[in-house]
Structure 1
Amino acid sequence: MNKLLLTLGVSALSPLALAKPVIVTSIKPVSMVVAAITGDKADIQQIVSSTASPHDFALRPSDLRKIVNADAVVWVGESLESFLEKPLENANKEESSIEWLALKGVKLHNFAEEHEEHEDHEEHEDHEDHEDHEDHEDHEDHEDHEDHEDHEDHEDHEDHEDHADHAGHAGHNHDGVDPHVWLSPDNARVLAEAVTMRLVYLDSDNASYYKGNLAKFVKGLAVTDAEIRKSLDKVKTVPYIVFHDGYTYFEEHYGLSHAGEVTVSPERKPGAKKVAELRHEIEEHNVQCVFSEPQFSPAIVKSLLDGSNVKTAPLDPLGGEIKLNQNAYFSFLKTLSGQFLRCLS
């Protein structure tokens, strides 16, 4: 009798005892990093499906319920997922969420700076080295005040670029920032550390488990990174064109030779003038491959390469086919590097 009561008591308590933290994630790459730390100790609920793009996503009522019921929401940031900003505010989840772009230590790339350098590289270099600021106020304004007349302002600008004080994320100002931070192994480590801290706070009973998973992730990341760097070294001088300008973190990390992009933003289709420019770039730079993306129709790339011998292959920046487990992020990096390698070899 007592044994039966004891069994019933355990059963009654078990749903509460086994309750896991609910971590809502925005996109697949975020889920990959989160899964590396949670293991089987938390419930991950992803909002944007693995076959969709966050660039043109619209929330459903079920997604709003996920946000309301979440213990924490982990997302990239408003410059990629603007559809999440208001719901997080309405659900009073801003403080408990983890915004990747806002984390201290994340290295961010700015689209505006890249395009200024691409359009007028020599003038940009001259401006950076110029010491006579008074004669170049107008030029400084055009270059977004990269060299400030006030030395203290210049120091503040450097701090902003280094993101040393970025954790506060005052004003949510990420205008011009490349949001594809998951393509940098270094940035993935920063998110993993932040997720670990949050899980330790939410589920202190499993603190040592989460911290152990972080240590494994950091070690595995170093090994994977070294393997990829070695394999891509043989093709890093081969020019190629990507579908949209979203691979800079990966390209700069591994020293690849990006020669251009079909479109700056995937929701913008290139016009006839852009297509003509791309065909000229393909010939001028001896481009070996033009990449498409599985989230978007490959018809644009096919028409661009019509009549040419240039290779084409898909690049999946979201890892849609990667199975979600603790090693998913490593598999994602290896798959992406393999896609580069096969088309550039």
Structure 2
Amino acid sequence: MTWLVSAPAFAEPRVLTSIKPLQLIAAAVLEGVGTPEVLLPSDASPHHYSLRPSDLRRVKEADLVYWIGPDLESFLPTVLNGRKGKSVAVQDMPDLHLRHFGEEHRHDDEPLEDQSEVDDEKMTTTVSQTDNHDQLHRPGTLDAHLWLRPENTRLIAERMATDLTLVDPVNAARYQANLDAFEQRLKDLDIKLKAHLKPLAGKPYFVFHQAFDYFEEAYGLQHAGVLAVSSEVQPGARHVAEMRERLKSAGPTCVFSEPPSRPRLAETLSEGLPVRFAELDALGFGLKPTPNGYEQLLTNLSDGLAGCLKHL
């Protein structure tokens, strides 16, 4: 009698990321081996999220957990303390290019009347109301949207490939090949985006959330101001008037909100002004965790900017 002996089956490594952009990066490295999971829904705020019991189980059972760090997911440190597996706060990785709020332009929780020293030509003044989110964006604090700089993403992918090789050495060659392919795609995309966005330098636009500084820095852009509106506090008449005045002073301009919805005050702020509205998505709302998902995230940002600014 001949006995057939099958090779041992290896379970794919369980990779859990806090937010969609990190899941997209992990998906590129895991191509052909597995699919990473994501903790937060795309429409949830990473600044303050209440984990469900099922979320806590996923955190506990994952082989590898990747999150930005306490400057973004302030609810996660206590949860991760009880884990046995590896958890990586990518903001603590060496060699990342990190920005802090207040670099080169002011942030949205500085009152308008205190902006006398701001260069009017650059129009970098911002207007907002202070809420819990604003406290995480005060001048000098880390700008945690670090995944929007391709070079940072390359370093994150390298770290993921190294960690996965230790957890799953059987697939080490696949992880390295995936990393090499991803790095080449990032180089090609970087060249494409620079050519696409170069003609837009200097065109005025505003955002409702200061989330795009890494992308702007990489591609020679700069928003003219931040019209930050608290989701929890209805702004007063004076605040609305100040934001309208800023838009009026800019002339023809674009204002970018983030999905899934535009702030309710958008139309009130822009009524009678030459303002165009469009969306910019820093978190990959609706994107699937495919190997090319991260490239699609940056391409969508580029297309969103160009689609509006080319009309100015």
TM above 0.5: yes
Determine if the alignment matches structure 1 residue 185 to structure 2 residue 124. Answer: no
Number of residue-to-residue matches in the alignment: 284
Match of 2:87 among 54, 79, 97: 97
Determine if the alignment matches structure 1 residue 280 to structure 2 residue 245. Answer: yes
Structure 2 distance, partners of 1:293, 1:269, is 19
Q: Deviations over 1:120-176 (max 9, x none)?
A: 468xxxxxxxxxxxxxxxxxxxxxxxxxxxxxxxxxxxxxxxxxxxxxxxxxxx971
Determine if the alignment matches structure 1 residue 290 to structure 2 residue 290. Answer: no
Aligned to 2:308: 343
Aligned-residue offset at 1:62? 0.7
Aligned to 1:305: 270
What residue identity is the alignment partner of 1:216? A
Structure 1 distance, partners of 2:250, 2:238, is 18
Q: Deviations over 1:55-99 (max 9, x none)?
A: 332111111001100111011111111111110012245xx1121
In structure 1, the gaps of 5 or more residues are 123-173
Aligned to 1:31: 23
Partner of 1:303, secondary structure, is: helix
Structure 1 distance, partners of 2:75, 2:234, is 22
Aligned to 1:315: 280
Aligned-residue offset at 1:269? 6.0
In structure 2, the gaps of 5 or more residues are 120-138
Aligned-residue offset at 1:301? 1.8
TM-score normalised over the length of structure 1 = 0.76
* Percent pairwise identity: 38
Determine if the alignment matches structure 1 residue 20 to structure 2 residue 12. Answer: yes
Partner of 2:36, secondary structure, is: strand
Partner of 1:106, secondary structure, is: coil
Partner of 2:50, secondary structure, is: coil
What residue identity is the alignment partner of 1:321? G
Aligned to 1:239: 204
Q: Is the 8 A contact 1:238 1:287 kept in 2?
A: no
What residue identity is the alignment partner of 2:190? D
Aligned to 1:73: 65
Aligned-residue offset at 1:265? 7.1
Determine if the alignment matches structure 1 residue 325 to structure 2 residue 290. Answer: yes
Partner of 2:12, secondary structure, is: coil
Match of 2:96 among 106, 119, 122: 106
Aligned-residue offset at 1:182? 1.1
What residue identity is the alignment partner of 2:66? V
The change in CA–CA distance for 1:108 and 1:267 in structure 2 (over 3 A counts) is farther
Q: Is the 8 A contact 1:21 1:43 kept in 2?
A: no
Q: Deviations over 1:275-301 (max 9, x none)?
A: 322222222222511111114443122
What residue identity is the alignment partner of 2:73? E
Task: Flag the structure with higher helix content.
Answer: 1
Structure 1 distance, partners of 2:15, 2:232, is 29
